[in-house]
Structure 1
Amino acid sequence: MSVETDKAIARKGQSVALVIAVTMVLWIVAQWAGPALGLPGRYALLFDFAALAALFWALVVIYQIWQARRAAKASE
């Protein structure tokens, strides 16, 4: 793999890690703050769906990283 390919894959990996970490922190805070603020249950469901969407995006990008590594390794 070239250095630029490695850097691009590393940047994607870092962004995925950041999205997963921030999503989980925000989701935990939302699950705690919802009842504390007296929000209806539908807001909890909204936060759940937002977290699932972010984690699905992360899964797609992880798959792209995996494919890019396989393609780079095959081209060596």
Structure 2
Amino acid sequence: MTNESDQARRGRVIALVIAIVGLTWLGLLALGDTLGWSQRTLAFFDLAALAGFAYALWLLFGLWRAGQQNKD
């Protein structure tokens, strides 16, 4: 039971990471458009968001692997 609840908690954390990265990215792009930030600055935030999504994907892969190991 604790393993399933631990996996559910990890899944919620991953969903939260994805939501926070996505909303922060959209907010920064809107703010940058309003304030007239350069394309270089906006590209930096694009790369930071990409890194955040890659981190979430890495966490999701780890969760999937843990689920595969618990099947056996």
Distance 2:36 2:50 in 1: 23
Write the letter of the residue equivalent to 1:13: G
- Equivalent runs, 1:4-19 vs 2, <5 Å: 4-19=2-17
Corresponding position of 1:28: 26
Deviation at 1:29, TM superposition (A): 1.1
Partner SS state of residue 59, structure 2: helix
1:60 aligns with 2:51: no
Distance 1:55 1:45 in 2: 15
Distance 2:19 2:33 in 1: 23
Corresponding position of 1:37: 35
Corresponding position of 1:47: 45
Distance 2:33 2:68 in 1: 46
Partner SS state of residue 2, structure 2: helix
Runs of 4+ more than 2 Å apart? none
Q: Answer with 1 or 2: which has the greater Rg.
A: 1
Q: What is the TM-score with the length of structure 2 in the denominator?
A: 0.92
Q: How many residues align?
A: 72
Unaligned runs of 5+ in 2: none
Corresponding position of 2:69: 71
